[in-house]
Structure 1
Amino acid sequence: MTKFNKLNVLIVENHLPMIDALTDMLLSLGFKQVYVAKSNANAIDILSKQKVDLIISEFEYEHVNAIELIRSLKKNQQAPSIPFVIASATTNYSSVSAAAEHGVSEYIVKPFSFSILEKRLSKALKCKPTPANSQITLNKQFTIMVVDDNKEILAFVNAVLKPTYSLTLIKNPTKVLKLCLHHKQPDLIILDIDMPSLNGFELASELQRHPKTRHIPFIFLSGKSDSQHVVKGYDLGADGYIAKPIVASELRARVHSHCQQLMNTSRLREHIDDIMTDVKNRENVITYLHSTIKEPLLTLSQQLERLNNGGYSPNLLKNVCEGAQFKIKVMMEQLDLIESIQQLEQNKYSYPPCTFALTDLINDLVKQYETRFVESKVAVSLSLDHMKLNCVEPLIKGALVQILNNAIEGSPPGSQVTIKLTKMDNTAILTVHNITPIPWQVAESFMEKFVTYGKPNHAGLGFHYLNLICKYLAIKLKVESDIKTGTFVSMQWTTDLG
């Protein structure tokens, strides 16, 4: 049983070899059902009849256009919440940006390995990915498997390549598939064609048939240089062909060229991830500003218009003015929050520490949030030891605000938020508790930027900001959450206390 075993996936693709390869990979990952659509119209028809949990589409090819498909689905309010993944060799900036702007969950660059597919689909579905057997990263020593029944050839290749690469020498080709499946996979396989127990063509076919090894590139070695042999090798998916007797300079050049291509592909994937992240971050910031700035401004505008028309009694006017002042203060704090996050992320935050009464700061904040507690029908319980603190007051206040916001938002009506401040020698421990656990969907990622769940129009900056503050101030931050006891957020630090 796998984490995908209850899920159905739709492939939108009309290139038959890619359909076959992707279908094999998805079934090996454990997906319950794989549907295939060879056009946008076919995809829409399948979605209207079948339950689909994930869509994987080519960006644009003949009758398939991912962006148009997304637009059609949104227009018809069809499958609005299904994760949409693009798998394509199209990598220009405008295409990737368009994909991100249309809400694509992941963008996978072809060709891709089984492990990359598993990782990206897990991310799209917010599942925890399993460790990959092999991933190409920059500035690493590439691993190369050399397969030949001739000891002299193995020794020669080892002498030529070992100074630069990590080599695995295999004399028995029947062991290769098992090694690739159960051990760290090589970045490249160099294999001889003429071997008695299992020739290179047969081994290549074996590797190509298995979804977990079909992505591994390979180069053939052969003493036969006739065109028929070469064509057969390339038909099997070979990335190169080196004739025997091997020339050391040619071997180095072929391997170097291939590893350079792998590095370029890795850089391209990182670049695409950066583009996707940048676009999504901009959208999240816009959403955040809309919810925290625009809506309160609209309320203030309506109140000013009513005030101008004499719509408030003298008694009510005082409450309206106090409410307006609070809204303005909150908006200013939210703008300061965005600025502080940026400065902390860039290591540019600079604000001198000062001595202040931590107990008074907490009491003042709770008083400011009194209206929110009442509106949310949530009680608050305080148990505060008196203490002073020498620290960066705006950041401590910012941390407290984020903890309070999350506690109130996560508390159902009729429940209670408990705030405790304990002094032990030179150590301060602040603990805030509410009865609601952190949703399991974000339990492992809630500290990350723009991660949120179940809070419409929220950008997911609170815990990210809290984490940045604690790292900057060397505060020990601990979050414990489960369905029985709820959520405990504690901050512990040692400093000059009075």
Structure 2
Amino acid sequence: MLAMKAIKKSLILIVDDTPQNIQVLGNILYEKGYNISISSSGAQALQSINKQAPDLILLDIQMPEMDGYQVCEVLKSNPLTKDIPVIFLTAATESENIVQGFELGAVDYIAKPFNVAELLMRVATHIELKLKREQLQQINIWLEDKIKERTFELEKANAELLKLDKVKTDFLSMISHEIRIPLNRIKEPIELLKYKVENKSLAELVEIIDESVVRLEKFSSQAMEITQLRTNRYVKNNTEVSIAGIIEYALLSIQKQLTEKMVNIVLNIQKDQKITGDSDLLVKCFANILRNACKYSQNEGKIVIGATELAEELIVEIKDFGLGMDNETVNNLSEMLTPGEIQFEQNIGLGLFHSKLLAEAHDGSIQIKSALGKGTTVTVTFPNNKSKLD
């Protein structure tokens, strides 16, 4: 087995019986600084994992003799390998195939042909989730030790202090339990933990983890919703909704960022302009776009939001006057291929890709126009069927 090593880099095992797929994935991930090991069969992969456990496994489903489902089942039945995140590689997008993978313990799937931005984001997200879980376990050990150290002192306190001690002990016990459960239950305990830790070094570590959890929560939520949208597993609740109301809720979701940068919002939308769709999805669609517009606007800048109703279309334009992008980046984002380096690192590509799928779920589309130093205009177009409820 071939292995490419780098110091202090995450190890990714690629399991695929097609050499071309291995070469493509290996080159993409190696260029991003990951260690790569490869296996061309399920049996070879299991032997490799027994020798050196990877941080993440990219596992092809369709392989001779031992397919990806069987390999995953073996891994998840072994206490030594059950926590290694497995992402399935598949050309099939049928819901039942994907659901089977999740039921066997896979954390995600990536469809062939690979979208590079989506591939890298999902790989980075699940590797970072694994690392954060390990760090949280270390904090849990520290908390348990600290509880033991404090118990004797707290037992000497008076009745009121004993009552407070019980509250604190219950609280810390709850934290110790909650940090072992999935990401969507970690955020609140970490927020509470920040105000209880006195050790400066540990407080800084908790702050880093807290920021990462928030970011990963957003990535994970977007990735899951993208999966649901791409496999038609999301059931829309369509109603006739006001575009002005949708934009208002989207702006409320980023109010903190708008206030911090003192960005002025100019609305050119009529209250009677409506669209038939799922209000939650539509709010997310515009919130992603507005978040980027705010992020790249100058302090005390301006964002103009307008809507135009035609006979067959409803067009919503969001224009900022911030940093802007060059033509190459605009083309990449428009095609939802690999974004430019800066944009990829700051998650513009994933947010717009998410918005693109949300718009397409309503038979809509997104176009981007931008110029360096002049700002960016994102146009979202929907069919004008406001009187029709799906």
Normalising by the smaller structure, the TM-score range is 0.3 to 0.5
- Which one has a larger percent helix, Structure 1 or Structure 2? 2
The TM-score normalised by the length of structure 1 is 0.38
The structure, 1 or 2, with the larger RCO (C-alpha pairs under 8 Å, 6+ apart) is: 2
The TM-score normalised by the length of structure 2 is 0.47
Greater Rg by CA: 1
